[in-house]
Homo-oligomer: A and B are copies of this chain.
C-alpha cells in the first residue's frame, strides 16, 4: 500500500458520469433530476431488491425518461453502485474521518458506520444491498468491485501499516457483522444496546486493525 491523498473531486467519486447526450425525449435535466433519479433508485433497490429493479422502473419512479437514467449513470449496475454510495457518502465523509489522523480513527469510523445504520433512510437500502449481495452474484460483484474497492482502498491508502487493505477489510467485516446481528437477525441484547455502548467496545478493535503495526 502506498500512501496517497483522498481527493473529494476525484472522478471516481459520485460526480455524474456524462456519457453521450441525453435523449431528446428525456424529462427534466440538471442536478435536481440526477438527485431524484438516485433517490428513486435507492428506494427501488431497497423495496424490490437488485434483481427486480430496472432502469425503466427507476425512471418511472423519478418521473424522467429511461434515457436520462442511462445518461447520468450508465448501466443498471452503475446506478446500483451510485445508490449504495448515496448511503455512505464516501467523498464527503471519508476525508473527514481520515483527516483527523490516526488518533481516534477507530472511534470515528465506528461512529460513522453506526450512524449510517441507525438512520432509517440509509438503513433500508443498505439492508437491501446486503440481501442482494447474498443472493445474487451480480450484486455481490458490484459491492466487491465498485463499492468496497472505492471505500476500503481510500481508507487503506491513508494507513501506515502492512496489509492495509486486508486490515480495512477486517474492520469493515466487523461493522457488517454487527449490522447483520443488530438490524437483521436482531439478536438480543445487541439489537437494543445503545449505539454509544457498541462504539465504545468496537472502536479499540478498529483502531488496532487500522493502526497497530
Contact = CB atoms under 8 A, between A and B. Distances in A.
A186 B144 contact: yes
Contact of A134 (B152, B172, B180, B186): B180
Interface of A, helix, strand, loop or mixed by DSSP: helix
Given A176-B180, A181-B176, A148 B187 contact: yes
A41 to B, nearest CB: 20
Given A173-B177, A174-B177, A208-B205, A166 B193 contact: yes
Contacts of A135: 131, 134-135
A133 B134 CA distance: 10
Contact of A177 (B144, B163, B180): B180
B184 A133 contact: yes
Contacts of A198: 170
Work out how many copies of this chain go into the complex: 2
A134 B169 contact: no
A37 interface: no
Interface in A114-160: 127, 130-131, 133-135, 140, 143-144, 148, 152
Interface residues of A, number: 43
B189 A166 contact: yes
Nearest to A202: B170
Interface of A: 127, 130-131, 133-135, 140, 143-144, 148, 152, 163, 165-167, 169-170, 172-178, 180-182, 184-190, 193, 197-198, 201-202, 204-205, 208-209
18 contacts: A130-B134, A131-B135, A143-B185, A144-B185, A144-B187, A148-B185, A152-B187, A165-B189, A166-B197, A169-B187, A172-B177, A172-B181, A173-B178, A173-B181, A173-B182, A174-B177, A176-B177, A205-B208
